[in-house]
Amino acid sequence: MNAPTRFRRLAVFCGSSLGHDPRFADAARELATLLAGSGIGVVYGGASCGLMGVLADAALAAGGEVIGVLPRSLQERELAHRGLTRLHIVDTMHERKAQMADLADGFVALPGGFGTLDEFCEVLTWAQLGIHAKPCGLLNVAGYYDPFLAQVEHAETTGLMLLIHRAMILDATEPGALLARLHQFRPAPTASKWAEQIYP
């Protein structure tokens, strides 16, 4: 068993597909097992498909708490995972994202498509605006997120993103190293302070 943690739960965003590289599923399993072993619950999209299903199954198999938050429309298409600790059914995708964010003390993105990118960019945007002060981790498995990190760097060097906001992305290539970065995270000054002191 690992050392006690200040995180009760982390929200994990990840693909509803498996992807072609088996290292994506390996990383989902490894992260889930690490979180369960550290006494950290998982909040996720509630589905049984793709990397989401791999993550939930591995966390449950390791004795962890897994809370799914699923919109009614997806439940009706029978995508819901049936063995979770708890499944919250909500009316809209917006409600789902807000509830996942409320339930979690921090966020991690594994490889994924539009859904994962949308969720991760939204929590970063909320952090940038001071809506929350929770860590945002990116598990860059097998270089999957290298192009995304390059785009973020491009946004910063072309003056469309501040360096302190780019630095909100805590990236690592291994689940253990990522969890260590999340533990070390200390929130930056509030958005309103940034707005007064940094933006002209």
Contact residues: ligand AMP, CB under 6 A: 13-17, 45-47, 49, 52, 70, 74, 79, 112-116, 119
Return the number of the residue (53 or 64) whose C-beta is nearest ligand AMP.
Answer: 53
DSSP 54-123: HHHHHHHHTT--EEEEEEHHHHHTT-B-SS-SEEEEESSHHHHHHHHHHH-SSEEE-S-SHHHHHHHHHH
In angstroms, the Cα distances linking 83 to 17, 65, 149 are 19, 11, 35
CB atoms within 10 A of CB 184: 9
* CB closest to ligand AMP, residue no: 115
Return the number of the residue (45 or 64) whose C-beta is nearest ligand AMP.
Answer: 45
Closest distance of CB 98 from ligand AMP, Å: 12
Closest distance of CB 97 from ligand AMP, Å: 8
Cα–Cα distance between 128 and 121 in angstroms, integer? Answer: 10
Closest distance of CB 111 from ligand AMP, Å: 8
Return the number of the residue (45 or 135) whose C-beta is nearest ligand AMP.
Answer: 45
Closest distance of CB 45 from ligand AMP, Å: 3
- Whether the CB-CB separation of 24 and 141 falls below 8 Å is answered with yes
Return the number of the residue (46 or 135) whose C-beta is nearest ligand AMP.
Answer: 46
- Whether the CB-CB separation of 186 and 154 falls below 8 Å is answered with no
Return the number of the residue (72 or 193) whose C-beta is nearest ligand AMP.
Answer: 72
Closest distance of CB 12 from ligand AMP, Å: 7
